Amino acid sequence: AIVTFGFAAVAAVALGALRWANWRWLTVAGALTYPFYLVHEHLGWVVIGVLHRDLGLPSYATFLVTVGLMLLLAWVLHRWVERPLTPRLRRAIDPRR
C-alpha cells in the first residue's frame, strides 16, 4: 500500500494534479533534503549523546532539538556551501570549456 501510494503521488505530481501546491516552503524543504541527508545520522548521534546522556535532556526534547539543529545545519550548508559553489563546480566540469 505504501509503495502504491508513492507511485500514485509521483504520478499526480507528473500529471499536474498537484500544481496548486506551489508553496515556497516546499522549495526550501526540497533544497534541504540532500544536506540534511549528509549530516543527520552521524552528527545527529553526536548531538543526541551530548543532549540526552551528558546533559540529561528528556527524550522528546532531545529529539526536537536534534532535528532542529540538523535542519539548521542543513540550511547553513545549503546557503553558504551549495549555493555559492554550485556555479563554480558546473563551470569546472563543463565539457565545453
Q: Establish if 44 belongs to a structural domain.
A: yes
**Is the residue at 36 inside a domain?**
yes
pLDDT tens digits, 9-64: 999 989 999 888 888 888 889 999 999 999 999 999 999 999 999 999 999 999 99
Q: Which domain holds residue 44?
A: 22-93
pLDDT of residue 41: 92
Are 52 and 83 spatial neighbours (Cβ–Cβ below 8 Å)? no
Q: What is the pTM of this model?
A: 0.77
Give 2's pLDDT tier (boundaries 50, 70, 90).
Answer: very high
Number of domains in the chain: 1
Q: For residue 10, tell me if it sits in a domain.
A: no
Residue 49 is given by DSSP the state I
Q: Is residue 12 part of a domain?
A: no
Q: Is residue 79 part of a domain?
A: yes
Would residue 53 count as lying in a domain?
Answer: yes
